């Protein structure tokens, strides 16, 4: 009975992995298809390469980071962290969060992701350390918004709502991941 359950769980996981990789490939083809029908979408080879590295790199990182930890809470927390990192990079590269895409203040978001990478390495991906790391990322995300609104990093005029909204979304993502990592300890 236990062996049959383990085999079914393994098959389900394999199907999810295939769906995730196929979904990433499908997402990558969307701009290519759109370029055939409109002049609004103009991607270069570099754009496709960037998107491919980001999409497939995120999936590969998930597989690598969760290979040894089969606890569902840990896997979901890892997925949330990687989703947040993916979206933060994608949005920042596409349009910028603080002001325009070329605004140097947007580089502060690299600090949030750098904190996550250093924290993950330092904690050796242990759930307790990852919970602390994700919590620190939430604090850093709020810190970036506070710096942006202080005027120290230039003007946020015209981008107040996106900065507040995206800060809330990313902070919630990091906090949800922290809670799930803490749950994985139990």
- At 30-52, the pLDDT tens digits run 999 999 999 998 999 999 999 99
The confidence score (pLDDT) of residue 67 equals: 86
The confidence score (pLDDT) of residue 168 equals: 98
b/e sequence 114-137, b meaning 16+ C-beta within 10 Å:
ebbeebbeebebbbebbbbbbbbb
Which pTM does this prediction carry? 0.87
Q: With a cut of 70, list the residues of the chain below it in pLDDT.
A: 1-10, 152-155
First to last CA, the chain: 26
Rounded Cα distance between 156 and 103, Å, is: 10
The confidence score (pLDDT) of residue 102 equals: 80
Owner of token pair 């300890």? 185
Both tokens assigned to 158 = 């015209």
The confidence score (pLDDT) of residue 43 equals: 93
């Amino acid at each position: 009975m236990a062996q049959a359950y383990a085999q079914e769980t393994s098959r389900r996981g394999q199907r999810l992995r295939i769906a995730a990789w196929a979904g990433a490939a499908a997402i990558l083809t969307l701009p290519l298809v759109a370029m055939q029908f409109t002049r609004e979408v103009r991607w270069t080879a570099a754009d496709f390469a960037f998107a491919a590295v980001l999409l497939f790199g995120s999936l590969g990182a998930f597989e690598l980071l969760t290979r040894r930890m089969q606890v569902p809470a840990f896997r979901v927390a890892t997925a949330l962290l990687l989703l947040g990192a993916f979206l933060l990079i994608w949005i920042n590269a596409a349009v910028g969060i603080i002001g325009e895409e070329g605004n140097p203040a947007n580089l502060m978001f690299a600090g949030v992701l750098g904190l996550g990478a250093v924290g993950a390495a330092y904690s050796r991906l242990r759930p307790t350390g990852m919970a602390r790391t994700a919590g620190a990322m939430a604090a850093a995300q709020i810190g970036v918004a506070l710096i942006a609104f202080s005027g120290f990093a230039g003007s946020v005029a015209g981008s107040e709502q996106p900065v507040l909204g995206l800060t809330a979304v990313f902070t919630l993502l990091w906090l949800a991941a922290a809670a799930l990592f803490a749950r994985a300890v139990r």
